[in-house]
Copies of this chain bind each other. A is one copy, B any other.
Amino acid sequence: MSDVFADRRRRLAGLLEEKKLDGYLFGGVSDLAYLTGFSSEGFQGLVTAKGAWVFSSALLAQQILEGTSGVKVVVGKKLGEALRGLRGRFRLKKIGFDPQQTTYDTGRRLVKKAGLMASPNPLASLRAVKDAGEMELLRRAGRITAEAVQWTIPRVRAGMTEIQMARMIRNRFERLGASDIGFELIAAAGPHTALPHHHPGETALKRNQAVLFDVGCRVGAYRSDLTRTFFYGSMPASFRRVYRIVETAQKAGFAAVKPGNRGKDVDAASRGVIKKAGYGRYFVHSTGHGVGVDIHEAPWIRDKSPDALKPDMVLTVEPGIYLPGRFGVRIEDTLRVTSDGYEILTKGRNE
């Protein structure tokens, strides 16, 4: 496995050269996990063409030594000092850091004390295209997520709370071999389905209410993301009408998922259907996002996103319509971009 990480660092070093950087400092947990195989808060890593270093306190040093290979571990030094030392010793002139994943305090210190510069994170584009090993985990995560939701929906009963429904899905994930939940699971009942980011609470489901599950699991370091909305009881025409619009919007988004298109094209395709049906102002979020080590990562599927879709990118398509106080409908799947279209990863074994 260590070769995978060394290879990623080598490819990153190539990208840095293109961007005229001598190195880049990473502080985000997901970036560091992607580059070293070790996942934890509380350490930083520098990648250069001349080698990779991680900076750690004594607290984590032992775990980093056991959990990584091919990186030098600098223990117990102040980050600014350690970086200054390496800059001199290896003639590293321009070292970047991610201004969106670094605090204002730390960023100011890196600029003042070590001469680093804020610079867009070059890893996002590498992480967006998945290799075969990553795809295997993403496939398993997608299948487990779909199967857990399929298993749960027919077991939903009036009187169950949102928290109980979310726990049923989580327990099913575990039964099916997931490592963990992929993010805080959403289960919403009745009018709560109209709140896109609802947190499950003690609200009990009643007969003749909408139910929305927005859930995903993690397998290894990789995640999946799936939303299903259904009506518990006898479905009124108003729900059916909105559901069909969202379903059509999702399919239009799917059709735009292919190499050569951009994130904004997929967004426009889904959003166009909803706007045309007169519900544009009730679709209050972007159409999707990439999925990988993070549940939200590049490519971004939203208005103005220039991200070009490439084979083996993994992303969601998740249009929704939310009618405040009444109900909301969102339908979401996680897709792989293929050479000429897409493949749905959030499918059960027998779908």
Contacts and interface: CB of A to CB of B under 8 A. Distances in A.
Nearest to A282: B58
Nearest to A284: B58
Contact of A105 (B40, B108, B118, B195): B118
Candidate in A57, A62, A104 with the most chain B CB atoms within 10 angstroms: A104
A263 B325 CA distance: 49
Interface stretch (A1-9, A81-89, A94-102, A343-351): A94-102
Interface string A29-68: 0000000000110100000000000000111101100100
Contacts of A99: 103-105, 108
**Copy count, this protein chain:** 2
A44 to B, nearest CB: 14
A116 to B, nearest CB: 10
A333 to B, nearest CB: 20
Contacts of A40: 197, 199
A87 B103 CA distance: 24
Nearest to A201: B179
A103 B100 contact: yes
Given A39-B199, A197-B40, A199-B39, A285 B59 contact: yes
Given A99-B108, A167-B174, A62 B118 contact: no
Given A101-B103, A174-B167, A59 B118 contact: no
A149 interface: no
A63 to B, nearest CB: 5
A289 to B, nearest CB: 13
A40 B194 CA distance: 16
B103 A62 contact: no
A275 interface: no
A198 interface: yes
A291 to B, nearest CB: 17
A160 B174 CA distance: 15
A39 B200 CA distance: 12
Contacts of A66: 195
Given A39-B199, A40-B197, A324 B62 contact: yes
Nearest to A66: B195
Contact of A102 (B39, B42, B104, B198): B104
A304 to B, nearest CB: 15
A196 interface: yes
Contact of A60 (B57, B62, B174, B197): B197
Nearest to A76: B284
A198 B104 contact: no
Candidate in A100, A103, A199, A322 with the most chain B CB atoms within 10 angstroms: A103
Interface of A: 39-40, 42, 57-60, 62-63, 66, 97, 99-108, 118, 167, 174, 194-199, 284-285, 322, 324
Given A59-B197, A103-B104, 9 more contacts: A59-B196, A60-B197, A62-B322, A97-B104, A100-B103, A103-B103, A104-B104, A104-B106, A104-B108
